[in-house]
Amino acid sequence: MHPGDTLTLLAPLSGPIVPIESVPDTVFADKVVGDGISIDPTTHTLLAPCDATVTQLHAARHAITLSAAGGVEIMIHVGIDTVALKGAGFTARVKEGDSVSAGQALLDFDADLLLREAPSLLTQIILLSGETSAIVERASGVATAGASRLMTVGPRRRATEDASRASSAGEAGASRPPRATVGVTSAVVAVPNPHGLHARPAAVLASEARSFAAAISVELGGRNANAKSVVALMNLGAGPGAELRITASGSEAARAVARLVELVRSGLGEDLSAARATTDAPEPTAAAPAALSPTAAALSPTAADPAPRAPRTPDDPRRLPGVSAAPGLAIGPVCKIDPLALEVEEHATDTEAELARLHKALLHTRLELKQLVAASGKRVEQAQIFSAHLTMLDDPDVVTRAEVAIVEGKSAAFAWREAVMSSYRELARMENPLLAARANDLRDVGGRALRHLAGGDEAQAAPAGSVVVAETLTPSEVVRLADHGASGFASVLGGATSHAAILARSLGVPYLVGAPASLLDVEAGTTAVLDALDAGGAALLLHPTGAELDAYRGRLGARRAVRERQEAAAAERAVTRDGIRVAVLANIASADDARKAVRLGAEGVGLLRTELMFFDRATAPTEADQIAAYQAIADALGGRPLTIRTLDVGGDKPLSYMPLPAEDNPLLGIRGLRIGALHPTLLRGQLRAILAARVGAVRRVLLPMVSGLDELREAKQVLEEERLRAGSPPVELGVMVEVPSVAIQADRFAEEVDFFSIGTNDLTQYTLAMDRTHPRLAGRQDALHPAVLRLIEATAQAARRRERHVGICGAVASDPEAVAVLIGLGVTELSVSVQAMPEVKSKIRELDAARCRELARAALDLGTAAEVRALLAEGARPG
Size of the site for ligand PEP (CB under 6 A): 10
- Nearest approach in angstroms of CB 858 to ligand PEP is 25
Residue 390 phi, psi dihedral angles, 5° rounding? -60, -45
* Number of residues assigned to the chain: 879
- 644-677: burial string, b at 16+ Cβ within 10 Å, e else: bbbbbbbbbbbbbebbbebeeebbeebbbbbbbe
> Is residue 763 within 8 Å of residue 785, measured between CB atoms?
no
Candidates 110-118, 469-477, 548-556, 757-765; binding stretch for ligand PEP (CB under 6 A): 757-765
Candidates 419-427, 437-445, 744-752, 753-761; binding stretch for ligand PEP (CB under 6 A): 753-761
User: Taking CB under 6 A as the criterion, which residues in 610-649 touch ligand PEP?
Assistant: 648
Tell me whether residue 32 or residue 809 sits nearer to Mg ion (CB atom). Answer: 809
Candidates 60-68, 210-218, 484-492, 758-766; binding stretch for ligand PEP (CB under 6 A): 758-766
Residue 43 phi, psi dihedral angles, 5° rounding? -110, 165
End-to-end CA gap in the chain? 81
Tell me whether residue 61 or residue 772 sits nearer to Mg ion (CB atom). Answer: 772
Residue 548 binds to ligand PEP (criterion: CB under 6 A): no
DSSP letter string, 86-134: TTTTEEESS-TT-EE-TT-EEEEE-HHHHHHHSSB--EEEEES-TTTEE
- Nearest approach in angstroms of CB 812 to ligand PEP is 8
The single residue of 50, 335, 809, 852 carrying the catalytic annotation is: 809
Verify whether residue 809 is a known catalytic residue: yes
User: Taking CB under 6 A as the criterion, which residues in 236-295 touch ligand PEP?
Assistant: none
For ligand PEP, the binding residue among 43, 761, 773, 828 (CB under 6 A) is 761
Q: Which residue is nearest to Mg ion (CB)?
A: 762
Q: How far from 76 is each of 141, 380, 382, 405, CA to CA, in Å?
A: 19, 20, 21, 36
Q: Which does 809 bind (CB under 5 to 8 A by kind): ligand PEP, Mg ion, none?
A: ligand PEP
- Nearest approach in angstroms of CB 58 to Mg ion is 34
Candidates 204-212, 658-666, 720-728, 760-768; binding stretch for ligand PEP (CB under 6 A): 760-768
Residue 760 binds to ligand PEP (criterion: CB under 6 A): yes
By C-alpha distance, which of 508, 512, 548 is closest to 532?
512
Q: Which does 659 bind (CB under 5 to 8 A by kind): ligand PEP, Mg ion, none?
A: none
> Is residue 562 within 8 Å of residue 533, measured between CB atoms?
no
- Nearest approach in angstroms of CB 759 to ligand PEP is 3
Candidates 217-225, 249-257, 756-764, 871-879; binding stretch for ligand PEP (CB under 6 A): 756-764
The single residue of 77, 499, 774, 785 carrying the catalytic annotation is: 499
User: Taking CB under 6 A as the criterion, which residues in 834-873 touch ligand PEP?
Assistant: none
**How far is Cα 484 from Cα 1, in angstroms, rounded to an integer?**
50
Residue 609 binds to ligand PEP (criterion: CB under 6 A): yes
For ligand PEP, the binding residue among 89, 759, 826, 838 (CB under 6 A) is 759
- CB atoms near residue 373 (< 10 Å): 22
- CB atoms near residue 390 (< 10 Å): 21
Could you give the maximum distance between any two Cα atoms of the chain, in Å?
91
**How far is Cα 108 from Cα 62, in angstroms, rounded to an integer?**
10
Tell me whether residue 269 or residue 759 sits nearer to Mg ion (CB atom). Answer: 759
Q: How far from 651 is each of 285, 549, 644, 781, CA to CA, in Å?
A: 29, 43, 20, 18
**How far is Cα 435 from Cα 426, in angstroms, rounded to an integer?**
10
As to burial, measured by CB atoms within 10 angstroms (0-12 exposed, 13-18 middle, 19+ buried), residue 18 is middle
- Nearest approach in angstroms of CB 810 to ligand PEP is 3
Q: Which does 505 bind (CB under 5 to 8 A by kind): ligand PEP, Mg ion, none?
A: none
Tell me whether residue 447 or residue 666 sits nearer to Mg ion (CB atom). Answer: 666
Q: Which does 609 bind (CB under 5 to 8 A by kind): ligand PEP, Mg ion, none?
A: ligand PEP
The region, left, alpha or beta by phi > 0 then psi within -120 to 50, assigned to residue 274 is alpha
- Nearest approach in angstroms of CB 764 to ligand PEP is 8
- Nearest approach in angstroms of CB 607 to Mg ion is 9
User: Taking CB under 6 A as the criterion, which residues in 648-707 touch ligand PEP?
Assistant: 648
- Nearest approach in angstroms of CB 783 to ligand PEP is 8
Q: How far from 637 is each of 278, 569, 599, 629, CA to CA, in Å?
A: 46, 19, 10, 13
- Nearest approach in angstroms of CB 445 to Mg ion is 34
Tell me whether residue 193 or residue 506 sits nearer to Mg ion (CB atom). Answer: 506
Q: Which does 660 bind (CB under 5 to 8 A by kind): Mg ion, ligand PEP, none?
A: none
- Nearest approach in angstroms of CB 585 to ligand PEP is 12
Residue 814 binds to ligand PEP (criterion: CB under 6 A): no
For ligand PEP, the binding residue among 439, 809, 836, 844 (CB under 6 A) is 809
Residue 578 phi, psi dihedral angles, 5° rounding? -100, 20
By C-alpha distance, which of 49, 7, 12 is closest to 123?
12
Residue 325 phi, psi dihedral angles, 5° rounding? -95, -25
Instruction: For Cα atoms 395, 398, 399, give the angle at the middle one, nearest 5 degrees.
Output: 80
Per-residue HEC secondary structure of 121-169 comes to CCEEEEECCCCCEEEEEECCCEECCCCCEEEEEEEHHHHHHHHHHHHHH
**How far is Cα 624 from Cα 367, in angstroms, rounded to an integer?**
40
Tell me whether residue 440 or residue 626 sits nearer to ligand PEP (CB atom). Answer: 626
Q: Which does 810 bind (CB under 5 to 8 A by kind): Mg ion, ligand PEP, none?
A: ligand PEP
Tell me whether residue 256 or residue 712 sits nearer to ligand PEP (CB atom). Answer: 712
Tell me whether residue 133 or residue 757 sits nearer to Mg ion (CB atom). Answer: 757
For ligand PEP, the binding residue among 119, 536, 779, 810 (CB under 6 A) is 810
Sequence-distant (6+) residues with CB within 8 A of 18 are: 37, 38, 39, 40, 122
Interacting residues with Mg ion (CB under 5 A): 738, 759, 762
Tell me whether residue 591 or residue 739 sits nearer to ligand PEP (CB atom). Answer: 739
Q: How far from 679 is each of 105, 306, 672, CA to CA, in Å?
A: 36, 55, 11
- Nearest approach in angstroms of CB 831 to Mg ion is 12
Tell me whether residue 239 or residue 666 sits nearer to Mg ion (CB atom). Answer: 666
- CB atoms near residue 825 (< 10 Å): 26
Amino acid (one-letter) located at 670: I
Tell me whether residue 117 or residue 738 sits nearer to Mg ion (CB atom). Answer: 738
Candidates 253-261, 567-575, 715-723, 759-767; binding stretch for ligand PEP (CB under 6 A): 759-767
Tell me whether residue 648 or residue 846 sits nearer to ligand PEP (CB atom). Answer: 648
Tell me whether residue 510 or residue 759 sits nearer to Mg ion (CB atom). Answer: 759
- Nearest approach in angstroms of CB 645 to ligand PEP is 8
DSSP state of 800: H
Residue 762 binds to ligand PEP (criterion: CB under 6 A): yes
Q: Which residue is nearest to ligand PEP (CB)?
A: 759
Per-residue HEC secondary structure of 582-650 comes to CEEEEEECCHHHHHHHHHCCCCCEEEEEHHHHCCCCCCCCCHHHHHHHHHHHHHHHCCCCEEEECCCCE
User: Taking CB under 6 A as the criterion, which residues in 722-741 touch ligand PEP?
Assistant: 738
- Nearest approach in angstroms of CB 650 to ligand PEP is 11
Q: How far from 588 is each of 41, 579, 637, CA to CA, in Å?
A: 45, 28, 11
Name the residues that contact ligand PEP, by CB under 6 A.
607, 609, 648, 738, 759-762, 809-810
Q: State the catalytic residues.
A: 499, 809
